[in-house]
Every structure is written in structure tokens, then in C-alpha cells.
Amino acid sequence: MKRLLTILIAIIVQSAFAGQQSAAKAQTDPRESAIRKLLQSTMMINQLYVDTVNLDRQVEDAITGMLSKLDPHSAYTNAADTKKLTEPLQGNFDGIGVQFNMLEDTLLVIQTVAKGPSERAGIVAGDRIVSVNDTAIAGVKMSRDEIMRRLRGPRGTVAHLGIVRHGIDGIINFDVKRDRIPLHSVDAAFIIRPGVGLIRFSNFAATTHDEVADAIRRLKKQGMKSLILDLLGNSGGYLGAAAELASEFLPKDDLIVYTRGRNGIQAGEYHSTGSGLFREGELIVLVDEYSASAAEILAGAIQDQDRGTIVGRRTFGKGLVQRPIELDDGSMIRLTIARYYTPSGRCIQKPYAKGDAKAYARDVVERYNRGELTSADSIHFPDSLRYTTLRRHRTVYGGGGIMPDRFVALDTTRFTRMYRELSARSYVVSTNLRYMDAHRDELRRLYPDFDTFRRDFQMPRDVIDVMLAEAAAKDKIKPRDDAELEKTVADLSLILKGLVARDLWDMSEYFQIIYEHDPIVTQALELLQSHAS
């Protein structure tokens, strides 16, 4: 920011000596006049205003204000927020390597990263971290962000941790040498039915292509012939990652996506390299209203090239290309420079009004109010947005997002009102944490492998009853009738079983439990079964 201030001062000083020649030039170039006006106003406020002003904040507010009048995705982030936003896409960070949650006001280790610094130091699941570098983090109502800030740090530095462990009196001290911790995009990869693999990933990061490619190789070795690619809720990420991944499924030179910039000029296009791992075999892509950006690029390419079937609900409709502009202080401007188009020519971006970010943010809610999430008949496309796929010449529509080939209505009755209230107030998570804390060792003895667990384990009803009694006493959360209670108990049993599986193994096991009852996944499996018969 200091460098920016120096530039501002230099420009204003220069303009003061420019004289009539500069004034005449400004008259012929309104852009230069507008920029000079902004710079002069900023400096005059800083120098003459009656109270001291924060010039850094002024400049940030000015940038934010200008960008707010543009499209909904052009944005400014300060240095701290920029780091938080870019870290998941970089694929790693420096830290101690634990997954944790807060049980009451204490950090509880859920899992350690395999071969990571905490595992090497001897920390295990179920440990409570009560201090970091002699500063208490338990019982002091410290925010989660502040705890993470203390645990993370430059690679090679040491975190002195105080640990409380079941069965051992007092505090055990560990010195954990921070290291590079990988962030994985792939949440789950498993055989969901004989010959059918499922790969779920949450974003398109620097490592996503390699992770998905590795998952495809593993599943093919396990007999995978058909693949369900799960993009439900996938928020997108790097365009390059989407293009790399599409190449795993498409023939060589197939168009994946192209972009158009100012005045509709084509800015670039991406084609398949043809070196894919799954160019044959049935492919289904799962999407919903929260699948966005790079997820829509991949789904659109698969659909337009008639390579697979899209199942779910119309995607978010984020088809604007942002160029990251890094500023000297670590802050960043993400400026929209182009639009994405699918191979058939459809614009992915949904309509928006410049400067009206609130209406844009409410679009999914408005879709629900119009019935678009519960009935395909409520979705209407004008003929002007009609396109055809490139091989089978099927009709598809533009106008924002990717409309699936097989629509799956949002099941508004899948979870009861009571379950949603329990989940929103963290009763489900807290119950799981307490149960695992008390029974982790016992569960590992009883269920040495996941197949045994999936077949035999049921969450004890008394655990659920304690949760329901606590919620009724503290927050007056009660069922409307016996039918809602019965359905809520069934919902809780399923989700808690999935959470226990996650804590004993990993996210793949969690999704194997809960996806047995997921409507979109069920439709995909039925579609594959119908094609096979």
C-alpha cells in the first residue's frame, strides 16, 4: 500500500506542474481526467480532512465501491482474505497436520494427516490440544480462526503443544515441527455398485486433475466399467484444472470451452489433449444448483460432446472469467475479463444487473420460490437460447447454467423440520463428537474393517434420546407428532452412522453410508441399471 501512496503522490505532483497542456489533454481523454479526479480527491481528503483518516481503508473502500458497480464476481480482497481464498486452490499450506473440531470449548483431534507432522510426533485421534506455545486455547472461548492461526506457521518452525489424553493423568507435551500439509480436492472415491465407481471432489484446484486421475486408476483396478462423477455443490476453481480433467474423458482435439472478452472478441479456447484415462465407459455427471464455474465448464463439455449424461438440477450459472491482479500488499483484485461458452456456443453465465449483488445472491432462493428446484416443468427457456449437441444433435439450452439431461427434483421432505433445527444448532455434530470421544477404542475393536461396520453398526437409540432430551430442554426443539419423531430418528441414525464412519476411516466411507439414500445418486444408479438391462 505504501508503494501505491507513493505513486498517487507522484501523479498529483506531476499533474500540478503539467499546466494548460495537461488540462487540454484531459479534455480530450475523459479517462485520464476521471483518474486524476479520483487521485486528487483521495489525497485532499487525507491531507485536509478535520480528523485523521485511514488512507489504506479509504483506498480499499474506493476499490470496493468501484467494483461493486460491475458484475457480481469482480471483487477486492485484503491480504488476509486473499490468503484464505487462494489457499484451498493452491493444494497445500504449512501447519501441524490435524483435522479437528471443537467439543464445548476444547479442540478435539478427529484425525491426523497420514505421515504428517502430528502423526510423526505421536498425536492420535481423540487427543485434546489445550495449549499452543504455552498459551491456553481451551476454556478461554478463543475463536476457531485464532486457534488455527496459532497452530499454523512457517514450515520448519515448532509448535509446543499441551495435550490431554484419555487414560493418562495430566498434560502431555509434544513438540511438532510444522510442515507442508496437502489439501485434497477429492472427498471420496469408491465402488458404489459392482463395476460402478463414484468420485466426488469439492473444487478445481492445482492438484485436482492429478487426484482424480489417481482415483480413476485405483477404481479401474477394482473393476470399474462405469463412472459417476460427483460435482454436487462443487464451487469451481481453476479453468486449467477443468480443461485437464475434461481431457480424461474426451477424444483428442474435442473443444472443451472457449472465452469471449470485450466486444465479443474470442479470447481463447481449450481442446482435449486426448490422453484420457476414461475415454470409454459410461459416464454420469451429478450437478445441482450449487455446482458452479469450472464444474459447469466440465459438465457443459461432457454434455455438448455427448460423452455422458448430466443428472441433477440446473447449475448455478457462473460463467465469468476473473483475472487475479495481485497488489503489492498481498491484496488482490479479481476482475472479470471474459465469459465462458460451452462447445455448442452456450453462455454459462446467468443474467445479472450490474451493481445489484443482492438480487444475484438471491437467485437460488428465487428459483425455489418459482418451483424450479422441485419441478422441471417450471423451468422455461426461450427458443432463442436453443442449441444442439455436437454429435447426437440433442437440444440443449443456454441462458445460464447447465440444465441436466435427467432432472431430479429437490426432495423437500428428505429431512424433517426437527432434524434441520437439530443440525443448525450443532446437536448432531456435538453428539457425534461426544460419542466418538467415549467409544473410539471400543468401535475400532468391534469393527476392524468398513464392510463389517456398514453391515452391523447402528447408532444406539439411547444416544439419540439423550440428544433429543437436551434439545427439548435447552432450545425447545420438539417433534410436531409421532410421524415427525420417527422420521427424525431415522435421519439422525443415518447421518450419525456416516459421521462415525468418517471418524474411524475417512470421507469415502462417510459418503458410502449417506449416498445409499441420496435421490440424485439413486437416479444415476437407476439410469446405469436401465442401460445395462
Contact in structure between 42 and 58 (CB atoms under 8 Å):
yes
| Ordered DSSP codes for 119-183 | HHHT--TT-EEEEETTEE-SSS---HHHHHHHH---TT-EEEEEEE-TT--SPEEEEEE-EEEE-
Among this protein's residues, is 305 annotated catalytic? Answer: no
CA distance 99 to 92: 14
Residue 208 phi/psi, 5-degree rounding, is -60, -45
CA distance 332 to 84: 12
Which entry of 131, 226, 322, 523 is annotated as an active-site residue? Answer: 322
Half-sphere exposure of 413 (CA within 13 A, CB side): 3
Among this protein's residues, is 293 annotated catalytic? Answer: yes
Strand partners, 309: 284
How remote is the C-alpha of 102 from its chain's centroid? 21
Residue 155 phi/psi, 5-degree rounding, is -55, 135
Looking up cell 462423477 gives 229
Q: What is the 3-state secondary structure (H, E, C) of 467-498?
A: HHHHHHHHHCCCCCCHHHHHHHHHHHHHHHHH
Which entry of 118, 303, 318, 508 is annotated as an active-site residue? Answer: 318
CA distance 99 to 393: 48
Q: Which residues, 6+ apart, have CB-to-CB distance to 386 below 8 Å?
A: 395, 396, 397
CA distance 73 to 361: 11
In this structure, how many other beta carbons lie within 10 angstroms of the beta carbon of residue 387? 16
Half-sphere exposure of 298 (CA within 13 A, CB side): 35
Which entry of 118, 293, 344, 349 is annotated as an active-site residue? Answer: 293
Residue 317 phi/psi, 5-degree rounding, is 95, 40
Among this protein's residues, is 354 annotated catalytic? Answer: no
Active site residues: 293, 318, 322
